[in-house]
Amino acid sequence: MQQESERPRQYAWPKYVLAAFILGVVLAVIWMSAEVRKVRKYRDSTMDPRNHPSEPAATTNADSPAAATER
């Protein structure tokens, strides 16, 4: 028989698991934001406005390499 004053045992490991999970999420967000910043920096530095018009030119089947081999 249990007495009224006894409480069930509280385990400490769930707190550590939750802390590790939260730390993992925070580190993943920081890592991904750094990678996104790096990719944006690379993309912006390699984009030349003279070679990348704001609207791409329309292509037809006659312009494709496959059409040239069929002739």
- Which amino acid belongs to residue 49? P
User: Cα angle at 56 between 53 and 60, to 5 degrees?
Assistant: 145
Helix, strand, coil % in the chain, rounded to nearest 5 = 60, 0, 40
d(CA 15, CA 21) in angstroms, rounded, equals 10
User: What is the pLDDT, as a whole number, of residue 31?
Assistant: 98
User: What is the pLDDT, as a whole number, of residue 46?
Assistant: 84
User: What is the pLDDT, as a whole number, of residue 13?
Assistant: 94
Going residue by residue through the chain, which has 71 residues, state the pLDDT in tens, using 9 for 90 and above: 456 678 888 999 999 999 999 999 999 999 999 999 999 999 888 876 666 556 556 666 666 666 556 55
